[in-house]
Structure 1
Amino acid sequence: MIVLKDILYKVAIESVKGSTAVDIKKIHFDSRLISAQDVFVAIKGETADGHAFIEAAVANGANVVVCEELPSEVIPEVSYIQVKDCREALAVMASNYYDNPSANLKLIGVTGTNGKTTVTSLLYQMFKTLGYKVGLISTVVIKVDDKDYPTKLTTPDSLTINSYLKEMNEVGVEFCFMEVSSHGIAQHRTLGLNFEGGVFTNLSQDHLDYHKTFAKYRDVKKRFFDQLSKKGFALTNVDDKNGNYMLQNTKAKTFGYGVKNLTDYKVKILEKSFSGLKLNINGTEVWSRFIGDFNAYNLLAVYAVADLLEVKDIENLQNLSQLKPVEGRYQHHMSSTGIHVIVDYAHTPDALQNVLQTTNDIRSRSEELITVVGCGGDRDTTKRPLMGKIAGNLSTKVILTSDNPRTEDPDSIIKDIEKGVEPQDVSKTLSITSRQQAIKTACILAQQRDIILIAGKGHETYQEINGIRSDFDDLKIVKELLDQLNK
């Protein structure tokens, strides 16, 4: 049994009503999960306030309530811990509850708009190849060494993070690579974790529905580096205009990586094709299976982190050349009819521009570049016309369609995207609400050697419409359609 006072260590407490010497079983922030002797943390969310469920939590058996505002009626048998911020308190309590598991392994956090999944997944892949037991917390999957768990959030809540880190401790994981989202930082999900190092990939417009302004979004990312300890390292992309800004107040040792500027870790792109990239990293040539300039940055970040974690250079470069591309990240498929298909998660203007520019750099211009793209519903609306403009400018044909409309009308989302398509690009742009029909149209339009780019969903194997998730895998569908058309 755990005593309440032990999990309150380092929590900023404003007042206590009741005893802190009581035994507790579990911590929850969902009153429906509470049972006898559990702690209920009243989180103020975007759609609901946990304070409204204190009474229900106590009725379900909670003997401790952590809250920002004390309820009007206090039950004598219940301990009430008043704090300034329940999310901060939850993060610290979660670490204490699971015996601070992040201190028992080397935890590396990767943040930025694009590249988080690729960098963390490749680091996991590399360190597994090197023979270590490794953990991964990413948008796509959570891995405890060889065991996989599904995930819905880029950065899970602090209880979930610490429970998986504890499991990693139990099986002897030495390194864990973790995506750190702006939502995760803003909501203190990573507070109290002991990071060995942090990586900044890049910054472009995203999540303004949540953060409201780009400056706030940028400063939330910076907060992650501000919180790193002097024992850790902070690695930044110096080619990004916000790269050095991230390091201004960090206590960690600082390092840079880039293509354009002189820095600690430098890469030159020597050759690029649909087969891969030939790179020169810090003076040594290496071939990789990855496509595109943005992947040169991702690979360099992986190399730099491995170097900072004291992997020998020859092992580092050898393993870098063996890394396999991440599912749904510039995933290339060649059909039996000679049509190139690229499936990518690009769901921001910057990411879409990167994948289109990469494709244009490789193609000879005699091929058509047919882009199928949409935008997610209930998310930042200001990026929609930007996506339309970029797709129109950099493609030979564009099909605007549904992504995950969620609770929004897909046709109204498409109209928002259409507003950004410039007059000279309107004639090459189609709008087809059904994503499957849009992909089918692209397949019908494509001839041998043409390129179909399907952007926005990448690794996702579902489409969400009005709260219902249905099976939908872009790569699987396009393969099936091309096979049918070839018969």
Structure 2
Amino acid sequence: MKTLAELLRAVPDVLEIQGDAGVGIEKLCFDSRLVEPGDCFVAIRGVQADGHQFIDKAVEKGAVAIVCETNATEKPESVQALVRVANSAEALGHMAAAQADFPSAKMQVVGITGTNGKTTTSTLLHDLFSAMNQKVGMIGTVENRIGPERVPSTHTTPDAVGLQQLLRQMADAGCTHVFMETSSHAIDQRRIAGVTFAGAVFTNLTHDHLDYHQTFAAYRDAKKRLFDSLPNSAFALINVDDKNGMFMVQNCKAKTHTYGLKRPADFKAKILENGLSGLHLELDGAALHARMIGEFNAYNLTAVYGVARLLGTEKMQTLTLLSALRGAEGRFEAIAHPTKPECIAIVDYAHTPDALEQVLETILKLKKRQSKVITVVGCGGDRDKTKRPLMAREAARRSDQLILTSDNPRTEDPAAILRDMESGLDNTDLTKTLIIENREQAIKTACRFAGPGDVILVAGKGHEKYQEINGVKYPFDDKAILKMYFAE
């Protein structure tokens, strides 16, 4: 057991300590409902609640120490120590790292941030280094991995305490590298405080999460904070073709490297062939045949190659192993129709206007001229409403048939979400649009419409195995539904 004083040594901005910091701490809690005798309660100002309002509850449940931000709080008699800090969320991350004996410092941890490409990039890095006989950890949207072991995940980035515990498990299991999707929410909420990064990757930045960040500038600034926090021993690898790339590394202490397809870059790729069977690239002056499809995957592969080389891998071994890798589940994942020649369905997680545009543009470039594109798409409830009409418009302009349907409506009325989407369509768009609220029926209808050579895109949920309606997650798998109706 560590003392409060030992945990506080890792915190940069301790403003005041009342009482005895020598008290032993059983565990750190930021949810007063989980406090047990001997714990330290850290009062965090969250999105939906302020932990400072629950200090009394934590004291009642036996907390021996309180960490908070407010001047007004006096140390309760039953509590041995009260600590005031500048930012309690930041403090929690550093304290959690100290409690777990700073696991990230014992591994090479690389954070991957950006609107699109995080999951594919981190999955490819995990698989690449695993193929090099390294024991590798991965933290992401779909799952967490400790070597070959798969652990389901509920957030892109876990909370600060859970993250440090997971990193501790990875270090104890002998992992040498960890590749971590790093969301803007996690950065903004200081969940990655206390993580020592060996490097960070910026993929791209487009319209997303404005329900949380309110403005694009705030969203961009949250991403930038990851690069601002890098030590000078780390590397920063940025997509130089994205207009926000160089902004990310302004005032960054880490050594900056670039990758891209269009502008001069440290790691540059050129697409030689792009078809439904895969990509043929010239990457860093050498040929690479990859099983993945589309320009966006050319960017992902180039980022992965850049990270690998910056972590010390050998060039030709890296290219050889990259050519054998497949992408992440639910990311431009193709399913062939068993009886209709050259009819395929694509399952993709695209849930932003830009991601949807990229996926559809890729399909349009690869399909045969006479083939139809049938798109099934919805928008999530309790999320950024401004992107709903944009999503529908992007889909309509690039599809021969559009079916608007439910995604994860959460607590919203699915019909209201569909009306928001429909508002982005003009009369021409509406002539080729169906609205089918039931997602399974929408997919079934698309399968019935599709003929030989046609391409169905089912967008928005990708890898997810559920549909969230009014707080309940019902089993639902786009890929399984497609296969079922393809088999009819």
What TM-score, normalized to structure 1?
0.98
Per the alignment, in what secondary structure is the counterpart of residue 205 of structure 2? coil
Structure-1 residue corresponding to 2:93: 91
After superposition, the CA RMSD in angstroms is: 1.1
Unaligned stretches of 5+ residues in structure 1: none
Q: 1:136 aligns with which of 131, 135, 138?
A: 138
Q: CA deviation at 1:14?
A: 1.8
- Identity rate of aligned residues, in percent? 50
Is the CA contact (8 Å cut-off) linking 2:63 and 2:79 kept in structure 1?
A: no
Instruction: Find the aligned partners of 1:470 and 1:271 in 2 and give their Cα distance.
Output: 41
Q: What does the per-residue CA deviation read over 1:365-411, in whole Å, with 9 as the maximum and x for residues that have no partner?
A: 21110000000000000111110110010011000000000000011
Moved more, 333-342 or 8-17: 8-17
Q: CA deviation at 1:73?
A: 6.9
Is the CA contact (8 Å cut-off) linking 1:237 and 1:243 kept in structure 2?
A: yes
Alignment of 1:38-437 (within 5 A): 38-69=39-70, 70-71=72-73, 74-338=76-340, 339-437=343-441
Is the CA contact (8 Å cut-off) linking 1:236 and 1:244 kept in structure 2?
A: yes
Q: Which amino acid aligns with 1:351?
A: A
Structure-1 residue corresponding to 2:10: 10
Per the alignment, in what secondary structure is the counterpart of residue 418 of structure 2? helix
Q: 1:448 aligns with which of 452, 464, 484?
A: 452
Instruction: Find the aligned partners of 1:42 and 1:337 in 2 and give their Cα distance.
Output: 59
Moved more, 292-301 or 48-57: 48-57
Q: Which amino acid aligns with 1:357?
A: E
Question: In the alignment, is residue 473 of structure 1 matched against residue 474 of structure 2?
Answer: no
Q: CA deviation at 1:233?
A: 0.5
Per the alignment, in what secondary structure is the counterpart of residue 166 of structure 1? helix
Aligned residues between the structures: 484
Instruction: Find the aligned partners of 2:246 and 2:279 in 1 and give their Cα distance.
Output: 27
Unaligned stretches of 5+ residues in structure 2: none
Q: What does the per-residue CA deviation read over 1:275-330, in whole Å, with 9 as the maximum and x for residues that have no partner?
A: 11111101111110101100000000000100111110111000110111210000
Q: Which amino acid aligns with 1:25?
A: E
Per the alignment, in what secondary structure is the counterpart of residue 195 of structure 1? coil
Is the CA contact (8 Å cut-off) linking 2:18 and 2:75 kept in structure 1?
A: no
Per the alignment, in what secondary structure is the counterpart of residue 444 of structure 1? helix
Is the CA contact (8 Å cut-off) linking 2:59 and 2:78 kept in structure 1?
A: no
Q: CA deviation at 1:156?
A: 0.9
Per the alignment, in what secondary structure is the counterpart of residue 83 of structure 2? strand
Per the alignment, in what secondary structure is the counterpart of residue 89 of structure 2? helix
Q: Which amino acid aligns with 1:87?
A: A
Q: CA deviation at 1:72?
A: 5.8
Q: CA deviation at 1:448?
A: 1.4
Is the CA contact (8 Å cut-off) linking 2:228 and 2:249 kept in structure 1?
A: yes
Instruction: Find the aligned partners of 1:365 and 1:428 in 2 and give their Cα distance.
Output: 19
Is the CA contact (8 Å cut-off) linking 1:200 and 1:235 kept in structure 2?
A: yes
What TM-score, normalized to structure 2?
0.98
Q: CA deviation at 1:78?
A: 3.0
Per the alignment, in what secondary structure is the counterpart of residue 487 of structure 2? helix
Q: CA deviation at 1:76?
A: 4.6
Structure-1 residue corresponding to 2:26: 25
Instruction: Find the aligned partners of 1:236 and 1:420 in 2 and give their Cα distance.
Output: 33
Is the CA contact (8 Å cut-off) linking 2:240 and 2:260 kept in structure 1?
A: yes
Is the CA contact (8 Å cut-off) linking 1:392 and 1:422 kept in structure 2?
A: no
Q: CA deviation at 1:51?
A: 1.6
Q: Which amino acid aligns with 2:426?
A: E
Is the CA contact (8 Å cut-off) linking 1:288 and 1:322 kept in structure 2?
A: yes
Structure-1 residue corresponding to 2:462: 458
Is the CA contact (8 Å cut-off) linking 2:64 and 2:78 kept in structure 1?
A: no
Is the CA contact (8 Å cut-off) linking 2:65 and 2:79 kept in structure 1?
A: no
Q: CA deviation at 1:423?
A: 2.7
